[in-house]
Structure 1
């Protein structure tokens, strides 16, 4: 390969002009699964984050362009820590998007130590609300989702005996704990809980045990390709009870799975037909680009990036540096944020509350069955 050598003066001028063009650009990071069995989540998350950055740049919210630097976690804690280290220590970003409960917990220590804001829009483990003041959540956590699911099963459907199939990680442990807490006061019962490894793909044995216990409903606490296999193999092995899960079931591949039709799942409630300017612009532009209605995950990561843009805009107006410390202080000083879904506030622990909706898998967009107000 032949490479042309630029004259020193030309090279210097090129580098200088490039540095001037990029001098005011602002970068944030994202630790997403970009490869492996959960890469489809990364695609969904990026679609929301990229649209928010596009809108921020169209509106000239900041002094320069807002860029999102993506690093691959493969949805694994160890890979997540490596990715976070690069974003914090090499790229020196002040704000990082995170996903998956295990990954989020793994990177939270570095976020605290480096005073870098980490924002989760995908993991729902309840303990994500207790990872320190630099860790924020723009998604309702499992205590909110599981509580709504338990109420709907018992009070609306009269299904009281529930079996849980859960992945052996912080997410699964969190959902197990919440089901144990929420079912009994409603008159329900957690009949059995079957733990599976994150890499498991064969579930005929689990299906046999579920058939034997004969519950009224089966709660699935998994994600990605694994949750598709659980649903398919339960149905293939004669388990015809009501299936219910959390927001991971909003993944397009699950929605299109024939065996999943009729399954229930919970997500935060967003009115996609709202006329408020932020929500309408988001929905209209997403539909125009993708030919379909967005999911709550897309909205979460749009909101996570928009929160940064709103905070950084205010810091720039005050002549302050856009650092993790200043972003945290500005978030605490801000009463309301205009986000997709409406005007919201952060709790003291850095988590947003939102209404929870129960939906049914219909083969297209999920059908809303009931909405529960935030607790």
Structure 2
């Protein structure tokens, strides 16, 4: 009897040891996304891309140990973002988190920096997101880049010189206003109205009246999510007939499907989803097969953000180094470029990617590419 018990104890100990070893090898990363509330559409888009990158990494056994993504719902609010990142850092001990929304990013960046945890943004475009320190990276061009590419096109090629701005009163909207104030005069245009609204605003009849009074050629909407959808509908319902324009948030499928958004112009980073390189083709094919639709630019950004982690972590493991935020930063600085979906990407010194800007028009419920503006 005793030998049998002893053998069982040995087996149990071995099983426990193997389980602990497997657990020790698990790599956990976090995500701060709006999975509920008015911005949940974006949370779904972003998380679907990130989760596919995790699936691909695990299928390829790209890392020593299973990669797990822990998603925390911020509802796009800075307060929830702070609670979520503290949990991910202090309880889950993640070295790397995905962030979204300019307000959330600015709230969580100091916390991540103090803990030497890398935070990567693929959705917020506030210009000051380039100034949040070495541990905050952006895999999306910021609004200043989009506005500077867009304004000369509007003024010189479309003859849309008088611009009215409707913007949300947060870091994103404030940043876009600042960029328009400097870019428009330089291109021969004019900002004829700049109307701010609180983040929670859903009524735009009064704003529409003020826009009509300004007699603009084009109305730039610097907002996002459900608020932007409501603004588009209500501006049209209240007699604003001018061309609408925005940054990449107009790629939201809900906006593309709006009859009121037909003819709107907007900018995105250039992502060549028709490329035949292995990384792009695999993502495009697998995403379409799984979700029954083409990937959105935000979906691609969050796939790419996780892929950056996987590439860096794999190299650290190859070198026998622990996967910490500090080591991830050092390895990123030592890496010239990354093969991502749609492009080979390099990071600038401030942690932001450099990418050409594509100008699009909404037609037949989809985004039609018009032209590409490359950095000079």
- TM bucket (normalised to shorter chain) is over 0.9
Aligned to 2:52: 51
Describe the superposition over 1:278-307 as per-residue Cα deviations: whole angstroms up to 9, x where unpaired.
111111111111222212111110110000
Describe the superposition over 1:343-371 as per-residue Cα deviations: whole angstroms up to 9, x where unpaired.
11110111101011111112433000111
Mapping for residues 104-115 of structure 1, pairs under 5 Å: 104-115=105-116
Does the aligned pair in 2 maintain the 1:95–1:324 contact within 8 Å?
Answer: yes
Deviation above 6 Å: which 4+ runs of structure 1?
Answer: 8-14
Mapping for residues 149-168 of structure 1, pairs under 5 Å: 149-168=150-169
Aligned to 1:169: 170
1:42 aligns with 2:43: yes
Does the aligned pair in 1 maintain the 2:257–2:366 contact within 8 Å?
Answer: no
Aligned to 1:97: 98
Cα drift, residue 262 of structure 1: 1.1
Cα drift, residue 12 of structure 1: 7.8
Task: Measure the CA separation in 2 of the matches of 1:136 and 1:267.
Answer: 18
Describe the superposition over 1:184-237 as per-residue Cα deviations: whole angstroms up to 9, x where unpaired.
111000001000000001000000111111100000000010000000000001
Task: Measure the CA separation in 1 of the matches of 2:138 and 2:89.
Answer: 19
More moved, 275-284 vs 211-220: 275-284
Cα drift, residue 319 of structure 1: 0.3
Describe the superposition over 1:161-189 as per-residue Cα deviations: whole angstroms up to 9, x where unpaired.
00000000000000000111111111000
Aligned to 2:284: 283
Structure 1, unmatched stretches of 5+, are 1-7
Aligned to 1:5: none
Structure 2, unmatched stretches of 5+, are 1-8
Aligned to 2:201: 200
Q: Secondary structure at the match of 1:366?
A: strand
Count how many residue pairs are aligned between Structure 1 and Structure 2: 369
Mapping for residues 259-338 of structure 1, pairs under 5 Å: 259-338=260-339
Structure 2 length as normaliser, TM-score? 0.95
Structure 1 length as normaliser, TM-score? 0.95
Describe the superposition over 1:42-63 as per-residue Cα deviations: whole angstroms up to 9, x where unpaired.
1000011011111111111101
Q: Secondary structure at the match of 1:361?
A: strand
More moved, 80-89 vs 143-152: 143-152
Mapping for residues 1-375 of structure 1, pairs under 5 Å: 18-375=19-376
Aligned to 2:5: none
